[in-house]
Structures are given as C-alpha cells and as structure tokens.
Chain A
Amino acid sequence: MARTRLGALLTAGLLLAAAAPAAAQPVRVGSKSFTESYILAEMIAQVIEETGEARVERKFGLGGTGIVYAALASGDLDVYPEYTGTIARAILKDPGVTTPAALRARLAERGLAMGEPLGFDNAYALAVARTTAGRLGLRTLSDLRGHRELTAAFDPGFLDRDDGWPGLRRHYGLEFGDVRIMEHALAYRALAAGRVDVITAFTTDGQLAREAVSVLADDRKFFPDYAAVLLARRALAERLPRTWAALERRLAGRLDSATMARLNAEVDLDGRSFAAVAASFLGARDGGGARRATLTRELPALTLQHLVLVGVSLAVAVALGLPLGILAARRRRLGQLELMGVGVLQTIPALALLSFMIPLFGIGRVPALVALSLYALLPIVRNTYAGLVSLDPQLVDMAAVIGLDGWKRLGWVELPLASVTILAGIKTAAVLTVGTATLAAFIGGGGYGTLIVTGLALNDAATILAGAIPAALMALAVHALFEALDRLAVPRGLRRRAAGPSGAPGTVLP
C-alpha cells in the first residue's frame, strides 16, 4: 500500500532529524517567552559569537520555567538567563535559599553553575500614576495603608502566589476598595486612563522608563530578590573557559534596573529587534533593523518548519492510528480500552504534553513531533474504528460467504468501504495539527508558533497575527488538499454514491 510506504519514509526522516544535532558542539542558548529574557539571551549569544570559541544555537521563546529548566537539566540547553528568586522557588523549591553562595552550592549538586548577578532585579512591585503619588504623598508600600478608596489591578499570577498579593496584604496590612484581575500590559493602559489606581509592575518594565508612573519602594522588604543571573551547565564553563569568562566580563554587574527597563522599552515600545537592542548595548554597531522586518524575513523558513511538523506528525499518526483503529474494530473489548487510552491522551493539555516530552526527547523538533503525533491519533483511530464497525452487515456477511478472510477481507472490502470515514478522520487530524503545531514553539520546535510566542511576549498583535494568519491559511490549504485527495483515494463507486443526487437504493441498508 502506497500510504504505508510513505509512512515508513517519514518515520525514517524523523529518526534522521533526531540524530542530526550531534555533529559539532554548539552552545545552545535558551530564553523564556518574554521580552527581557529574549534580550538577555540575545546578549549571551552575541558575546559567545564575538568570542569565537563555539557556534551558537538559539532556542528562544520556550514556554516557561518548567520547560527551560527541564531542557537545561536534560542537556538540551547550555545557558539561559534566570532570576535568583525563581531558582530558589521554582527550581530548587526551597525559598529559604537566598544567598548567591547557597544557591551555587545547591545548583552544583545538579551539575549547574550560576554566574555573577547581572546587576538588576526583576521583582514584583506596585506602581501608581505619578499624579496619584504626588496627590496622596505615596512613596513606599507602607504609605498605601488606609487608602481603601483606591482600586487595584493585579495580574493573575500575582493574585494567588504566596509571595504575591495574599502575602503582601498581610505583611503591610493593605486593603483596597476593589481588586481586579488584569493582564500586565493592559494594566498599564488602565492606569494611564485613570481607570485603576494601583497596578502590579515588574521593576524593569519598559513602561517604567517612559510613562508617568511611580514604583513604590518595598520599605519593609516583602518581595524576595529576583536578581538576574546566567544559569548554565557546569560543563559549559569547563569546556569553553574563555567564553564563560567573556560572558562574566561583558554582562555581570553591567545592567541596572533603569538600563534594563530602557532596553525593554526599545523593544516593546519602539519596535526594535531583540538582536539590535542587544547589539547596541554590547557596543556593536546596530545589528538589525526593525523587529517586524526581521520577523517577516523568517516567514518562509517558519512555513517550511510548520509544514514539516504537520506532515511528519500526521504521517506517524496515520501509520500508528490506522492499525490501532483496525485492531479496535477486530477486538471490541480491547478496542474500548484503546479508545479510552487515546481519548485520555487528548485530555492532556497540549502544553503539558509537550513539557512531558522534554525528559524523554529534550527540546526542539523531535519532542514536538512526538507530542503532535500523539495528539493527532484520536480522530484517526476513532474514525477508522467507527468506519469499520458501522459497515453494512450484509456486505460483511457476504465477504465471509464469498470466501474472503483475514487480510483480503480487510484490504479488498472493509477498508475501501470505510475509506470515506477514515479519510475524514485523517482530514480532521491534519487541520487540528496545523493549529496545535503552533504550540511547538514553546519547546523550541519552530514553526509559525515562534511568531505567536514572540508576539505574545511583546504584546504585539501584528507579530501574533504574522504567525496566526499563515497558520489559518495553512489549515485552509490542508483542508482543500484533502478534498482533492478524497477524489483520489475514495473508490469511484463510493464517490458517486456520496455525490449523486439519486444515490443507489440497492446498495444501502434496507
């Protein structure tokens, strides 16, 4: 069967893709998916390139601490920018560890190294409009006490973290008239419009460098330190000592909060690219132009990556799903278990499934392909099963009477008769996968999701759409492709019946 051969070919391709990055040993630099992390990672990358000891592989925009740390721990990343508070709380899970020496000792047990602090803290803070601060004489968090008439807008994370609002409220004895949940970037706009009085801010927010906003001092030391540092595999410093020394020399202690806020503003508010901002900070001549131009140039490569993600994972899902569906139809009781299992896979949130893949397959394209293949399985298995169990019983009986058994019955009669339903399942899987594949970017899998993740980090609708619109167009194209494929793969006799207005009364159930 042609379909099986294609599946085998694509599986081989998948294995090759997995084996490829063993060649030269580049330094793999990671970042999380927010502006500051991108800029710092870009600085790290440029310093390494400047030193010339090793090539750099950029794995930016990974989806959160869990994913980036898992990638570092499994050896898929060599270095990325992190914050001491996050290291203590989210990675070591021990908020008691605060001094750099203690952090280093604990990280060393895991084969990791922490660089010297870069110089700034990216901590939570509360901010008010400068006019409000002047009018009420607010300079510190303690000054907020008793101002019950104020309205606050906090980001969702802050509202339920123990080191967020619940703790802060107890620590300072604060009470506001109204506390709303609002996304970070929106809160700044609401503050500017005078619709809220107090918002959560990060001490390096680009807006702080530009807008008439005052950050209130944490006079009674509630917020933990979130000093920016480089977090690296210890092997990196040992393998490339000159590079590690260069990173420390060029970055450690060089960035204060005001500088970082200004750099963030250049990206978030002025639309410059991460690379250009990092380059001008490092004193190089302006490396890249406007951010948008850079992103648009990437579109062909991202399209190809996205197509590979969809094509390979769909091929694997067909190669697995078709036999599973057939098995389920043949062994009904086993089939129920199987369908349940495949159904459960579908209930795992895509991002969680992707992050489960990291300990097994690291980050990048391979774990994304595995996760996407698993995700595409359900519609294919379900429809194969449904197509096979709902065949006209007379036609199935007739196959037995005629002397068709086993593979002949399956290949000559059952699969062709179920082909319309099976193909519909594959079509559903394909269109779904085009959408789900945008999440691959969170584990460094590439594709259109890269633009969406970057756009979300920048809060830039244009960049998000630059990823989302091509993905939607690709979904439409895939749909159209399958409509055409229907015409090829579905036997003529069945097509006519499906399309013809009169149908064939003699071939349907009585």
Chain B
Amino acid sequence: MASRTLFDKVWTGHEVVAETAETPAVLYVDLHLIHEVTSPQAFSVLRSLKLPVRRPQRTLATMDHSTPTISDQVHGREPIKADAAARQVRQLQVNAAEFGVELFDMRDARRGIVHVISPELGCTRPGMTIVCGDSHTSTHGAFGALAFGIGSTEVGHVFATQCLLQRKPKTFAINVEGALPPGVSAKDLILAIIGKIGVSGGTGFVFEYRGSTIRAMSMEERMTICNMSIEAGARAGMIAPDETTFAYLRDRPRAPRGADWDASVARWRTLISDPGAVFDASMDIDASALQPMITFGTNPGMVVPITAAIPAASGQSDPVLDKSLEYMGFHSGEPMLGKPVDVVFIGSCTNGRLEDLQAAARILKGRKVAAGVTLLVVPGSQQIKREAEELGLAQIFKDAGAEWRESGCSMCLGMNGDTVPAGRYCVSTSNRNFEGRQGVGARTLLASPMTAAASAVQGRIADPRELLR
C-alpha cells in the first residue's frame, strides 16, 4: 500500500461512505463533546423531528463557556449572577436528562473546559474522530485524533446519525526541529507558527506537527500547539501518538485496561505518517531560534518576539494594520516591552492545564502582582484546581495577590461576566485577541503563562527570561 499520512489513516478508517464529485463523505464520529452554548438549538431540532440522540454513549456533555468562576455561584451558595447563563445551564441539564446524555454538571468534580476534561478523563484517544460545537476542538489532535469544530446544525447531524457529511481536507506538514530555549514555551511556538502562516494560511488544511521539538513535548504542550491550529485557519491539527501519549493515557479513568489496553496501544502505534508520505504543503520551523512571543494587534497572526517593536506597514499604507493599532492604542515602532498592563488572565483551553499553572507559579513564587494590576487565574478543570491546591500552586497565586477561581472558559471570551474593562490592556494566555473578545473595547495581548506571570509582577509587558534568572 502507498505511504499514507496520519490524517489519511484516521480519515479512511472513519469513512462510512467515501466522497464522490457529487457528494461529500459520510464520516463516522467516535466522540461527540457538547456544551451549553452551541447545543440547545441542535436538541430543539431533535425534538421537532422526534428523534433520539442515536449514540448517547458516544456523547459527553459539560458546561464551561457561560458558567461562573466564583465559588459561591458554582456551589449554589448564591445564584448564578447572569440570568441568561443560568438559563443556558438549566437547559443543558434538561436536555442531557431527556436524551440520556452523560453530563458533568456544575458541581461535578470532573467538570471543566470541554477540551481539558476529555483528555484528562482518558476519553480522548489516538485514532478517534472527535467533534464539538467549538473551534478549539482541534486540541484533541495532540493525541493523534482527527478533531475539529462544527456548527450547531452539524451538532444536530451527529446527534441524529453519529456521522457528518465532510469533504476531505488537504494536509500540511509543520516540521519543527531544535530545542526551545529557556523561557520559550509551546505557546510561543504556536504563536510564531501562526505569525508565519497567517490567520487564513491553513484554511482547507489539516496540520500535522512533526519533528524533534514536538516529540520532546509533553501532552500538555502538544495540546497547546494543536489548540491554536484554528487560529491559522486549519480546522484540525494532529500529532502522531508515541510513548508520551501512551504514558499520559495509561490508567486514566476512561482509558482501556488490561488486554484491551495492550491491543489499543498496538493499534495506536500504527498511527504515524509513513516514511515517504506526501503532504499537500509543508513548512519548517527552527525552535531553537525562537523568543517569547506576544501579539500586538487584533488577530493572533499579528505577533512579534517580545523584544521587538510594533511593525510598520510593509508598503505605502496598510489600512488593516492601522485599524488594528488604533483599536489597541499602539503605534508602529514602539517597543512591546514596558507597555503598561491592567489585567492578566491565566487560563483557557489553550493554557489552563497544570503545567501552565506550574510555569506561571515558577515566576510568581515569592513575588507580588504589581499595584493596580488584576491577575485572574482560572484552572482548566476542577481536577486541575484540586491538583494545584494540593501542590501549593494556588497558595503561591493567592500570596502574590491573584484571584484563584473555579474552572471554566472565563475571561477567554467573557461570556460569564469575567471581562476586561473597555480600553484596558490584558495579557492573556488564551487564544484570541479579536476586538472585544474579552469584553467590549478590551485590548488583548496573547502570550505564554510565563510571560503573563512576569507581566503581572512588573505591571508592564515583561520578558519572563529576566525573572527566570
């Protein structure tokens, strides 16, 4: 058989009906993750057509986008402040019960951001197809799964048939070699990749991240990388599973056990791009040359090394750049380092895992958040919250003057009321710096957990390498 890519293997294994010129492929979905924001309209379709969820055992529900992060609201000691959010939460409870879908409810110890808890529980596994009504579903590709975001109509399709109609995307190899220098993280690497490809350069492609840098990464780092594939326009990013993947999954609550585990690992080992496999596009990155990265504009591709200045228009004028800089209150030529910061957010499906909190804590330990700066630390799941508390990380954050919250999407998109005030600057470990993303008029600077922590301490955009010395 001809050499095949990892993507080809997973795609072909899930083709119920292959695509033709006239019709898309019918693609089987192994795991359907749902949350409170993009599922209610799909449940309404089922109700109107009098259809059940066809494979409820392949469906998992949680609530994360609009849920509060204030403990008293999560634990029922006071009502959820936002009415609409409370209604959405209740609707998901009703829908999950009516259609027989397992729900990690508000006070469930396993609740958290959907893309954090599925790997944590061992539900995300190599070779699977995974979809969710959320563009950051690409996160699960870190395990060698084909995982991508879908709209609510497609959520309805998966409910009713466990399948989707899909055209086969093209493949894009991103080869990363070399060791990341100290103070430079997976977040900096993916920001650099997006800066190079551009925010639409990956449209129509599935990325495969390859090379020695990727192989040396933990699963948490790989998830950060795959998570932001969509910010370059690619619906999915994948990494071939290896010993790191298997070690992460072994003994997770929902991972296979015993003989089933052995058989699974044997199958997972075949999920690599064969030598000589052909990709439709490729790019090489030297990780050893990277610096901490930070965004200066209003999309994730507008990014520079933290020691750089804000770029100028490449031609005579650049209305896109001008509009962005006007929104941000920045000017070409200004250095990024030293710009004042009002809010720092550490969390999200990009950087809300235990390793991210550990990286931030290394910088914050024994230090204080600068006067006038709000630091919000929001763990990606309730399990991570417990682990961070047991390891003393939560105490480090609190001693530094940070707010330590319950898990959820929180200030990444501000749906739950955790927002950045208009005109204020927020160094954020999340994934999108779009206008108004973190609140009306909010100005977002995307960076790594280390850069975010260093900036919180200094009250201005700071190079984490200075505080690691």
A binds B: no
Give the interface of B toward A (CB within 8 A).
none
